[in-house]
Amino acid sequence: MFKTRLLSGIILVIIALITIISGGPVLFMTLLCVSVIGMQELYKACGVRKDKFELLEITGYLGILAYYLSMAFLPEKYHLLAVILGLLLLMFVYVFTYPRYQTNQIFAGFLGIVYVGVMLSYIYQTRMLDGGVYLVWLIFLCSWGCDTCAYCVGVLIGKHKMAPVLSPKKSIEGAVGGVLGAALLGALYAWAISGYNPNSAHTPLIYAVICAVGALVSMVGDLAASAIKRQQNIKDYGKLIPGHGGILDRFDSVIFTAPIIYFLAVTLI
């Protein structure tokens, strides 16, 4: 299992490097595909998708496609309109096929659009910012860096449970270590790229603050994904990534972190 997890992890990192460094259409299309796969995993977990494609599921995919098309061809002020359009399409299906679908399925359908599709799209939007070629890596640095640091600190000195019912192994000490570790990684990253990054506003302090806040949010993302799995009585969202599970299992914290890093970068830099 360890070899499988390690190998798939290496492949995942290589794919991430290629797509994120390429940016533009390559990253755009990759994230659209990843969003659709992640939405399908969530739809299966929440009962939107059964044994075959359902009208409600397809409508959810159309909703996220509308959002991505708005990013590609329309000004930012129309992006929210695309999200609202997705909701309207879902409600259209709900009303005119009543009582085929339950209310919780409609909510899950809209959750898939926002929670998976919209929030993951901020990886692309961060990459497209001025200096985004450097900023985008903070999303993964604070998410996965926090997770690693929190685990190490938790194993060493963790005593007080952070969420005893939802995740008994996570500790408050580990959470603090994760946030501080992510902040340190952000500062070191800013220092390491200072010779290549011409923007003087990208300082170690700013990167440390962004990563610290991102780390806090990433832990909520991790716990939120766990909460959904527990309530739906599933171990993993999927089997796409051997040893890791599905898209949502691997990107649960990144989903929450991506929009926060984007807005912090826009605000602070």
DSSP 77-135: GGHHHHHHHHHHHHHHHHHHTTTSS-HHHHHHHHHIIIIIIIHHHHHHHHHTSTTHHHH
221 pLDDT more than 90? yes
| Global pTM exceeds 0.75 | yes
pLDDT at 202 over 70: yes
Residue 78 pLDDT more than 90? yes
- In the structure encoding, which two tokens stand for residue 68, read together? 């991505």
Average pLDDT, rounded, for the chain: 91
The whole-number average pLDDT for the span 126-144 is 94
Q: CA angle, corner 39, sides to 61 and 265, nearest 5? A: 100
Q: Which residues of 204-230 are buried (b: 16+ CB within 10 A; e: fewer)?
A: bebbbbbbbbbbbbbbebbbbbbebbe
Give the amino acid at 162: M
CA–CA dist 225, 253 (Å, integer): 8
234 in the Ramachandran plot: left (φ > 0), alpha (ψ -120 to 50) or beta? beta
Candidates 63, 73, 78; CA nearest to 114 is 63
Q: How far is the C-alpha of 132 from the C-alpha of 217, rounded, in Å?
A: 20
Q: pLDDT category, 261, cuts 50, 70, 90?
A: very high
At 2, the pLDDT band (50, 70, 90 cuts) reads: low
Cα dihedral 125→131→133→137 (10° resolution): -80
